[in-house]
């Protein structure tokens, strides 16, 4: 079964994807990691890379390329697809949204010290999280006329703000079996 997984910045989606894949014996395909790698190759931080992707003339390079790849994945594959467009590209998959409060997300991201992040303190991290989440939402409304944060697009929505990774995994497993 193909599982799509997406969440707001700092929701824990990468950690959840990795642990869930280990537990289920699945492969993780992360579109975000693919984009971070491309951003680094272009000597850009992720925010600058995403700003380039918001331009309609860059849609083929930044979105359609990844969209077509995601659509080509087998529905019966043992794959966890970590992607904003996963639910859209694979509407028959089990689609998970991980939500998180902005302040919690900012703390998590700041603590991760990702090489593509630029925040120096919590206030800046919070500002960047809000800006990034808003830009992501507006981008996909503009390019696809879809709201990636609309809960109706998902089979399961979990607020991860006050949950451990193990609690999140148990919730997902319970709903996969249902």
Short-list 42, 31, 133, CA closest to 85:
31
Spatial CB neighbours of 51, under 8 Å, sequence gap ≥ 6: 135
Please report the pLDDT score of residue 98 as a whole number: 97
Structure tokens given for 93: 């998959």
Q: What is the distance between the alpha carbons of residues 94 and 86, in angstroms, rounded to a whole number?
A: 10
In a domain, residue 70? The reply is yes
Using DSSP, state whether 121 is helix, strand or coil. Answer: coil
Handedness of CA 169, 3, 150, 64 (dihedral sign): positive
Higher per-residue confidence, 150 vs 49: 150
Above 70 in pLDDT, residue 114? Answer: no
In a domain, residue 175? The reply is no
- 33-47, 132-146, 155-169: lowest mean pLDDT where? 33-47
Question: Range of 87's domain?
Answer: 3-161
CB 23 within 8 A of CB 169: yes
Q: In this structure, what CATH number is given to the domain that contains residue 94?
A: 3.40.50.300
Please report the pLDDT score of residue 96 as a whole number: 98
In a domain, residue 177? The reply is no
Percent of the chain's residues with pLDDT above 90: 48
Q: Which residue has the tokens 């696809």?
A: 144
What predicted TM-score, i.e. pTM, was given to this entire model?
0.82
How many domains in the chain?
1
Q: What is the mean pLDDT of the chain?
A: 86
Q: What is the distance between the alpha carbons of residues 117 and 101, in angstroms, rounded to a whole number?
A: 19
In a domain, residue 50? The reply is yes
- pLDDT-derived band of residue 2, with 50, 70 and 90 as boundaries? very high
97 dihedral zone (left: phi>0; alpha: psi -120 to 50; beta)? beta
In a domain, residue 173? The reply is no
CB 22 within 8 A of CB 101: no
In a domain, residue 84? The reply is yes
In a domain, residue 171? The reply is no
In a domain, residue 138? The reply is yes
């Amino acid at each position: 079964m193909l599982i799509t997984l997406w969440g707001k910045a700092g929701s824990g989606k990468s950690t959840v994807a990795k642990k869930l894949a280990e537990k289920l014996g699945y492969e993780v395909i992360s579109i975000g990691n693919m984009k971070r790698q491309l951003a680094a190759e272009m000597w850009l931080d992720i925010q600058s890379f995403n700003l380039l992707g918001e331009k309609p003339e860059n849609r083929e390079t930044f979105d359609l390329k990844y969209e077509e790849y995601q659509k080509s994945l087998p529905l019966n594959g043992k794959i966890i697809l970590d992607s904003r467009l996963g639910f859209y590209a694979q509407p028959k998959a089990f689609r998970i949204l991980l939500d998180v409060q902005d302040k919690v997300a900012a703390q998590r991201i700041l603590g991760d010290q990702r090489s593509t992040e630029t925040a120096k303190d919590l206030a800046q991290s919070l500002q960047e999280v809000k800006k990034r989440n808003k830009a992501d939402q507006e981008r996909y409304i503009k390019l696809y006329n879809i709201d990636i944060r609309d809960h109706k697009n998902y089979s399961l929505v979990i607020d991860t703000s006050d949950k451990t990774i193990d609690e999140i995994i148990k919730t997902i497993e319970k709903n996969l079996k249902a």
